[in-house]
Amino acid sequence: MVERIEDLNLPNAVITRLLKDALPDGANVSKEARSAIARAASVFVIFLTSTSTSLARKQNHKTITATNILDALKQLEFESFIDPLTKDLEAYRKVVKDKKDKAKKDTSGTENGTEKESENAA
Amino acid sequence: MASEDLFAEDFSEEIISELEQDYVQEADIVEQEDIGGKETEEDNVVEEESTTPDESVPVTTNTEEDQTQSSKTKTTNVSSEARLFQLPLTRVRNIMKLDPDLHIASNEAVFLVTRATELFIQSLGVESYTFTAQAKKKTVQKRDVDLAIAAVDSLMFLDGAMSF
């Protein structure tokens, strides 16, 4: 779980890279502005999560799903995120599926002890 | 479908860390394999550079140095495209767990929140930059971020939530 408060900050290097990709060439972001954006991002995660959990609870679901997140984004007026995220989700599902297929093939190896256990349990 | 989701949940953390590791490796592989595709990308990069007057870059006579520089930019381009996400999923999941009402978040949900946050960071950056540009500056200041939060409706939730 969370042990230090710094564990709730998102890594500065990644935020800098994301901003650099989005802003025109020659643009910079001051340290104070970056940490403000980083804090805003953490608040955004919490805000999006709580909206999604309340949507899931309305449907009597305990697990929040991809659909809950997309619905929550719509509700929070971040509609512009939905199309790119739907595409990303498809790509993510494909990668996970490929990984699972690969893991099934690898179960004979000694590396995947946990995978073996899971198959035995099933 | 539902049972599959639950099943996957048991190994959520493992799969996530595996994925995170794999992306780094996959990115490396793509870099090596994608030499053909890189050339077109390099062309794009060169075009971009030529259209923007970049005064800060001194004209180097050393061609070798130029080549290493351009190959560096290529590498970062390729790896950022090969990865599905850049922020650490585990960190995002930990922030999500602060919500006392959250029981379980599916891996897909964590992935989407991560990607949404990346888009959020970029759009907040772009919104802030409009105020930077208005002030005829190049460096985004805290003031610009505050102005963007005040100006954009969907960012209202940040008002007052920023001072923790």
Tens-digit pLDDT profile for residues B10-29: 444 545 555 665 554 444 44
b/e code A58-97 from CB counts within 10 Å (16+ = b):
eeebebbbbbbbbbbbeebebeebeeebeebbeebeebbe
Mean pLDDT, range A87-106, rounded to an integer: 92
Residues A71 and A90 in one domain: no
Record: contact B142-A36, CB cut-off 8 A: yes
A19 plus A42 within the same structural domain: yes
Per-residue CA distances from B112 to A8, A71, B108, B138, B156 (Å): 18, 12, 6, 32, 22
Element (H, E) at A29: strand A28-29
Contacts of A65 (CB under 8 A, 6+ apart): A56, B5, B106, B108, B109
User: Within a domain: residue A25?
Assistant: yes
Q: Which residue of chain B has the CA closest to A76?
A: B154
Indicate the number of domains in chain A: 2
Q: What is the pTM of this model?
A: 0.68
Please give the backbone phi and psi of residue B72, each rounded to the nearest 5 degrees, phi first: -65, -45
Identify which has the larger pLDDT, B78 or B94. Answer: B94
Task: Provide the domain limits for residue A93.
Answer: 80-107
Residues A46 and A101 occupy one common structural domain: no
| C-beta of residue B45 within 8 angstroms of C-beta of residue A16 | no
pLDDT at B76 over 90: no
Residues B101/A54, Cβ–Cβ less than 8 Å: yes
Q: For residue B161, what pLDDT is reported?
A: 78
Residue carrying structure tokens 């995947």:
A112
Q: Is A36 found in the same domain as A93?
A: no
Number of CB pairs < 8 Å for A and B?
217
d(CA A45, CA A39) in angstroms, rounded, equals 10
C-alpha A120/C-alpha A108 separation (Å) is 13
CA distance B28 to chain A (A): 16
Q: Is residue A112 part of a domain?
A: no
Q: What is the CATH classification number for the domain harbouring A61?
A: 1.10.20.10
Same domain, A54 and A39: yes
Q: Please report the pLDDT score of residue B104 as a whole number.
A: 94
CA atoms within 13 A on the CB side of A64: 28
Considering only residues A119 and A85, tell me which one the structure prediction assigns the higher pLDDT: A85
**Does A119 reside within a domain?**
no
> Quick one: A4 and A31 in the same domain?
yes
- For B50-61, what is each residue's pLDDT tens digit? 444 444 444 444
A46 plus A99 within the same structural domain: no
- pLDDT one-digit tens code per residue, B101-118: 999 999 999 999 999 999
Q: Are residues A56 and A88 in the same domain?
A: no
User: What is the pLDDT at residue B70?
Assistant: 46
> Does the residue A63 lie in any domain?
yes
Contact across the interface for A43 and B161, Cβ inside 8 Å: yes
- Comparing CB atoms, the residue among A15, A28, A53 nearest residue B139 is A28
Average confidence score pLDDT of chain B? 69
Whether A24 is covered by a domain: the verdict is: yes
- Looking at the structure, do residues A45 and A9 belong to the same domain, yes or no? yes
Task: Name, in order, each residue with C-beta under 8 angstroms of B114's C-beta and a sequence gap of 6 or more.
Answer: B85, B87, B89, B92
C-beta atoms of B104 and A62 within 8 A: yes
Q: In terms of domains, do A64 and A99 share one?
A: no
Report the C-alpha gap between B137 and A78 in whole angstroms. 28
Examine the domain organization and report whether A38 and A63 are in the same domain.
yes
Shared-domain flag, residues A45 and A93:
no
CB B92 within 8 A of CB B110: yes
Answer whether residue A18 is part of any domain: yes
Q: Is residue A19 assigned to a domain?
A: yes
Question: In degrees rounded to 5, what are phi and psi of residue B59?
Answer: -75, 115
Choosing from A54, A76, A98, the residue where a domain stops is A76
Residue A121 lies in a domain: no
